[in-house]
Structure 1
Amino acid sequence: MKKLTKQQWQWIFYDWANSGYGIVVVTAVLPVYFKAVAKNAGLSAANSTAYWGYANSFGTLIVSVLAPLLGALADYPHAKKRWLNIFTGLGIALTFALALVPTGQWLWLLVIYIGSLIGYSGGNLFYDSFLTDVANDKQMDRVSSYGYGMGYLGGVLAFIIFLAAQLSHGFNGLLDSYGVAKFSFLLAAVWWIIFAWPLMCHGKQVYSVAATANPLKDSLRRLKLTIQHLNNYRQLVWFLVAYFFYIDGVDTIFTMATVIGTDLGIKTTDLMLVLLVVQLIAFPFSILYGWLANKISTRYTIMMGIIIYLGICLYALNLHSLRDFWILAILVGTSQGGIQALSRSYFGRLVPKDESSEFYGFYNILGKFSAILGPVIVGIVTQWTGKSTVGAASLSILFLIGLIFFMTMPLRKEKN
């Protein structure tokens, strides 16, 4: 097996770079910090939770709606790196700015967070589309899997540095609790810029559409033509429908896990440890999925991942203790990175290479909007049955639908 190229490692480490933001800022620190700041400012717990939800939805919605147009604009010569740098720079600058917000200004904290989330999500769109430039069809599975694997590892290492500050009580009293939170924002920003810098400086766009005097007008025209001629991309559209359902299940299980664990009476410290271990397990298993795709085909490996998630949903019915929760978490860790990595590379082989950013825009939309259906299903079934474990098990319908669409998808010869 050939060694990964320098360009591929530069691409892979972008995932390592922004994973610090994902786990430290978005998942672990800022939600708790915002709640504390809002409480001290006199905001009720219900309102602060609602505003936090609105902020996440608004930031995600902006990028999702604009994704195909932004992608189309990035498909012109030398444009992809420029757009990657714009959004990455925005995300890094505003993550740094989070540490500068006075502790009483909860509204400014939300506004700046929304901007950083737009930078993060937009940067990921162009990062994903760069996969077609750094790897050929035979290399995509391996490179994409390494990206996800190294992303999990990078996020864990950044999180451990934050934990060191937290558990040492702000490095033996140098920082108060607010200071530790602000340190985590600075850490995420510095982590991001250091490891993203190689791709931001040296990323090479191999494929592009012809240059034009009016990129915006031409991008809108191309976007309209793509939508009008979707019938020409039957396999691609079929895959996106399957992806919409099964990735919704993947995302929902991860986002609802802590709530379900809390319902089981599991302590917060145990939940944090589980989160860390899941990330660590996801690192080697993401790479293993890339290896399996090379051995048995990408299609069959994705199907295997969907079936494993079906089993995870059914196992949720037997959740009664911390030990059961650990088993479920380990199973999730074995497959969450791999199925996402191979979905990205499988899609990369289906898209026209010179229009990859535009098509990854549609991929981005479905990946984001799919996160709506799963939590609603879990909520309704949980309220109906009174058991969150049954609510989690109900997600099996999403994986079943996704599997059926994926298995019945019209195929062309797979370049594996």
Structure 2
Amino acid sequence: MSAQTTDQAEPGAEDGRTAAAAAAARKREQHGWYFYDFACSVYSTSVLTVFLGPYLTAVAKAAADADGYVHPLGIPVRAGSYFAYSVSASVIVAVLIMPLAGALADRSGRKKPLLAAAAYTGAAATTGMFFLGGERYLLGGLLLIVANAALSVSMVLYNAYLPQISTPDERDTVSSRGWAFGYTSGAFVLVLNLVVYQGHDAFGLSEGAAVRICLASAGLWWGAFAVIPLRRLRDRAVVREAGPALSGWKQLVATLKDMRRYPLTLSFLLAYLIYNDGVQTVISQASVYGSEELGLEQSTLIVAVLLVQVLAVAGALGMGRLAARYGSQRTILGSLAAWGLTLAVGYFLPARTPVWFFALAAMIGLVLGGSQALSRSLFSHLVPAGKEAEYFSAYEMSDRGLSWVGPLVFGITYQVTGSYRDAIISLVVFFALGFVLLARVPVRRAVEAAGNPVPERI
């Protein structure tokens, strides 16, 4: 009798051990996945947000003619707009590459080698920024284009792992923790950058040399910590029939045609495309606004961005908890309202008053991480199984890809008006329109239409 009982209990025990092993393996991958945010977010923070905008603008001004224009490829460009236009150009390059990379990853099932190639291309280009100096604005623009495009491609592949390494109910938490890891590393490296920049005389460095060391250090950090996710993440077997690889534009068209079968997913993507364009433009242009319009010192900008990083960790985790209670959609809508208010406050900031700029940075930090993390996790519920990388290539074009409109609007507004205040307030329309479009998406029906289980709260 006892032997019979033991035999009957064994399948359940085996199932329990199997489930526990699967959960442990999933946690291991999740922890590795977090570290790609930890690796690459330093680029977004130290390079794109703090140092490169003002530095490349200064290099372009040094190379400008008497009227304040540089002439890349013979095109007259106001030196103050060169950085914004370079960001836009990097996005257009990314648009050509991301759909092809996403489709190739889905068809081959080999995300990891593609992630490694993109990560180390971006890290190398960022490290190469050490050689910017004098009037090398063309080199600066080229390295920015390569690094930004490589980051975009790597994020397609990185984000595509999210639905594979987490259950539906885990995704808001996992996505938020990834962003928190990224902001933590960004804050830590920014402290080191602040020490180097502020103490450049003590280190026997010029101010420009200190900036170039800070830029290059981001590339070294990116490459070093990318090793962790590349060791822990694993490729999955392909779950759909392989098809021919297409060119970037043809693959984008094919992906969008396929997404027409899921119009609610497409509706969410359109809303995200618009409001995230505003987010990405604020991130990339805030330091230029602070230095050129408000007359703030570089050290002030570093401290302000450091404040953003610290509060963004709390914001990402806090908004993750709000999403667990109120749902992702409502929480994102609240963050978009806060973004619009933040830009309105930024328009009226007095010049040369760091305390008010710090207050603005605090507002940005509290909504930045959460709005991005929850958007990523919400979209992961809307992706049909087996098309993760392909669909996330379209998502990434909204995240870093089609975000060329905002910088272009910012640059044109400044070129026409000569005022960065007018340029910054022009971005409010992105958040207002994105709010309206997102509010109209029935997310529960969208998840069901994609063939995925609906979480208890979304």
| Residues 208, 355 of structure 1: 8 Å contact kept | no
| Map of 2:277 onto structure 1 | 248
Q: Would you say 1:16 and 2:48 are equivalent positions?
A: no
Q: How big is each residue's C-alpha offset from its partner over 1:288-333, in whole Å with a ceiling of 9 and x where there is no partner?
A: 1112212221112112212222333444465447344433321211
| Map of 2:322 onto structure 1 | 292
Partner of residue 407 from structure 1, selected from 410, 420, 439: 439
Matches within 5 A, 1:256-335: 256-261=285-290, 262-316=292-346, 319-320=349-350, 322=353, 323-335=355-367
Corresponding residue SS for 1:232? coil
Matches of 1:178 and 1:392, distance apart in 2: 27
| Residues 72, 219 of structure 1: 8 Å contact kept | no
Q: Would you say 1:96 and 2:165 are equivalent positions?
A: no
| 1:281 positional shift | 0.8
| Map of 2:394 onto structure 1 | 362
Q: How big is each residue's C-alpha offset from its partner over 1:12-50, in whole Å with a ceiling of 9 and x where there is no partner?
A: 111111122222233333445545666777877531556
Partner of residue 230 from structure 2, selected from 200, 205, 226: 200
Matches of 1:119 and 1:370, distance apart in 2: 15
Given the two structures, how large is their TM-score scaled by the length of structure 2? 0.78
Corresponding residue SS for 1:5? helix
Matches within 5 A, 1:80-91: 80-91=111-122
Q: Would you say 1:189 and 2:197 are equivalent positions?
A: no
| 1:85 positional shift | 0.7
| Map of 1:28 onto structure 2 | 50
Structure-2 change in CA distance of 1:292 and 1:85 (3 Å): same
Q: How big is each residue's C-alpha offset from its partner over 1:372-392, in whole Å with a ceiling of 9 and x where there is no partner?
A: 1476279659978x9865764
| Residues 103, 389 of structure 2: 8 Å contact kept | yes
| 1:407 positional shift | 1.6
Structure-2 change in CA distance of 1:144 and 1:168 (3 Å): same
% same residue: 27
Matches of 1:268 and 1:94, distance apart in 2: 23
Structure-2 change in CA distance of 1:52 and 1:43 (3 Å): farther
Given the two structures, how large is their TM-score scaled by the length of structure 1? 0.85
Matches within 5 A, 1:215-254: 215-216=244-245, 225-254=254-283
Matches of 2:89 and 2:411, distance apart in 1: 22
- Comparing 202-211 with 188-197, which one deviates more in the overlay? 202-211
Matches of 2:160 and 2:387, distance apart in 1: 9
| Map of 2:14 onto structure 1 | none
Unpaired segments ≥5 residues, structure 2: 1-22, 71-78, 449-453
| Map of 1:73 onto structure 2 | 104
- Comparing 235-244 with 176-185, which one deviates more in the overlay? 176-185
| 1:205 positional shift | 3.1
**Number of residue pairs matched by the alignment:** 412
| Residues 316, 390 of structure 1: 8 Å contact kept | no
Q: What is the one-letter code of the residue matched to 1:227?
A: L
| Residues 73, 219 of structure 1: 8 Å contact kept | no
Structure-2 change in CA distance of 1:119 and 1:291 (3 Å): same
| Map of 2:28 onto structure 1 | 6
| Residues 84, 410 of structure 2: 8 Å contact kept | no
| Map of 1:136 onto structure 2 | 167
Structure-2 change in CA distance of 1:409 and 1:366 (3 Å): same
Matches of 1:395 and 1:36, distance apart in 2: 24
Q: How big is each residue's C-alpha offset from its partner over 1:334-353, in whole Å with a ceiling of 9 and x where there is no partner?
A: 10111011101101110113
| Map of 2:381 onto structure 1 | 349
Structure-2 change in CA distance of 1:256 and 1:191 (3 Å): closer
Unpaired segments ≥5 residues, structure 1: none
| Map of 1:122 onto structure 2 | 153
